[in-house]
Structure 1
Amino acid sequence: MKANRHTAAPAAVVVAPSGLEREQWLAVRRQGVGGSDIAAALGMSRYTSPIELYLDKVGELGDMPRSPELVEAAFWGHQHEPTIAKVFAERTGLGVVEGPGMLAHVDRRWMLANVDRYVIEPGERTPSSLLEIKTRSAFQLEEWLLGVPDGPALQTHWYLAVTGYAHAHVAALLGGNRLLIHRIQRDEGLIEHLTELVGRFWQNVLNRIPPPADGSEATRELLAHLYDVAPDSVTVADPATVLPLLEKRAAVKAREQEVADELRLVENQLKTAAGESEIVKAAGETAFTWKQNGTFAAKRFADAHPALAAKYTHQVDALDTKRLAAEHPELFRKFRARRLVVPAKKETSC
């Protein structure tokens, strides 16, 4: 059906109209926590860590590089959204309308929601639930067949908490050709728990108390791009903070080496069992393979067959980083990755 506008949800008020300029919209988002923030606030996001979300909310994140893959995924998700909403309406017989903009809970204005669509029952004039729309890879099909995965489920419950609706629908397009539709019933216990946990995060934002760094890949990526570093600058750290961390790192690195050695031993024993065969079977099934399909040893090939190597060698365009570093040292430094290096302890002489 043709999209139209409607008033705010039962428990929410409009805090930003739809069609707002992006910078204004982002400014409003920083005044609270939205559905797309929930996984990060709880430390459950693969792409955004709690500390990154905190820095964004306090306006200290700055311009961070965005993954081209995520940008592309977001683009196609936006492009497919109207089509998915239309097909959802056709397959369910329910009406689908767009909302008035960004919503906030009527009592807790820091609880924000940007709902994809609102759902109207046949014969009714006002929405009775909401629709969350997702576009996902075909590799996630099995997970979605079992229900709504944790991240989208928490986001949808957050929207139920903000809007006051009793249920929601989630429509996910998997691999571009499989639409799955799930219904989520409001869970008061989960909503209460979510509100409490995310409320603590938001209170820390208001109090300017950053969350601790965690071990996620998202935090590693953040810290690699977060600071503008002065060459050879020095920080005098509290020994009580740094030294225990260095000891813990040394212990973890030692365990890492032990695990690597043990893994190498087991794999060498498996390779011995394979011998000249590429496929090893046990109990009538393929147990493992050791095929000659890995990285090509170019240098070894060139040493053994120099004439053939010369025949198949071609020039490629490559960035002259040495020249760039010599002629533009500050710019070169700006695009270098930061490396964490812990010097080996010097042995004391007896």
Structure 2
Amino acid sequence: MTDTPTKAAELLHLRGQTLTKGDPIAPPITMASMYHLPGEPGGVPGYGRADQPTWEATEHLLSHLEDAPALLFPSGMGAISAALFATLHAGDKLLVPSDGYYNVRKLADLFLSGLGVEIIERPTAAFAEGGFEGISVVFIETPSNPGLDLVDLAATCEAVRGAGGITVIDNTTMTPLGQRPLELGADVVVASDTKAPGGHSDNLMGHVASRDPALMERVRSWRTVAGGIPGPFEAWLLHRSLETLPLRFATMCATAKALAPRLAAHPAIALCRHTSLPGDPSHNLAATQMETNGFLIGLTLKDAATAEAFIDGCPFLRPATSFGGVHSSAERRARWGDEVAPGFVRLSIGCEPQEPLWAALKEALDRL
């Protein structure tokens, strides 16, 4: 397994190891769309849609975290789209989770199916049922968003590879610090760096990582040809945020683990999902494939009105979609059509001190 603390320490000094006297410690923001390019092109930056020094600085950090080449995209869905368009062909079958992030299913239904890709859906908790024969690409989200069910990554990736398919793992909820799909046999990792890696709710970004050079070249070609490129300032913001990710992520996960049993014991909560809880269906598997239990908690309250009252009644919760910010946030996910109970709340724990956060959560729950 990866030595995560050492990797986190190294992250802070990656750029520093390349500097010469007088260089800035922080990377500069290169805004150029054109480069000085006399004579024949090649070997130097040529045009801003293909070459961008600020992207490369951020990709250096992401590649270090993933232990694999990484490419930056302007959103998590940009990264997912690139990975799928780089691996699928007309006539292929794509397996996606029926209970994962809904935009992946929308991409598949609205666009990939029209290009001749057959879409198969399965719930995360029963993802391996039916096997993987004849399926070209298997897209896995574990823990699932929002239900927090798990897929056995090592067993599934081995089975998919044995059937001749490719695995694409969405690791958004855990980040490379909490789960390492490539080490468990995945072919490709995608993630929304808008979430915990960015962490401040002010930047859309995503990345693709893989140890397959040919596959990564196709991903790079997709980005260049299709034009789904990140802005240099946004790339710089992510670079800045990645340097504090280990601290923020550790705080968020520790607080979530401390609060989960308290939330589970509160009479207003019918069901609490967090993989640290001994009775959680994902508890045992999480212990074998995740380095931490994450910062997301699933709460089921009596009904939609009760869930909304809880969210609106807590001063230390921001009612917002997305997750992973320094501010704790919560959302009733059924409002987007997710197949969860009307009172299900996805709670994203932020960086607030544990006890004041718990006091605010408990007060809001006690008033229900």
Normalising to structure 2: TM-score of the pair? 0.26
Q: Which is helix-richer, 1 or 2?
A: 1
Specify the structure having the higher radius of gyration (Cα): 1
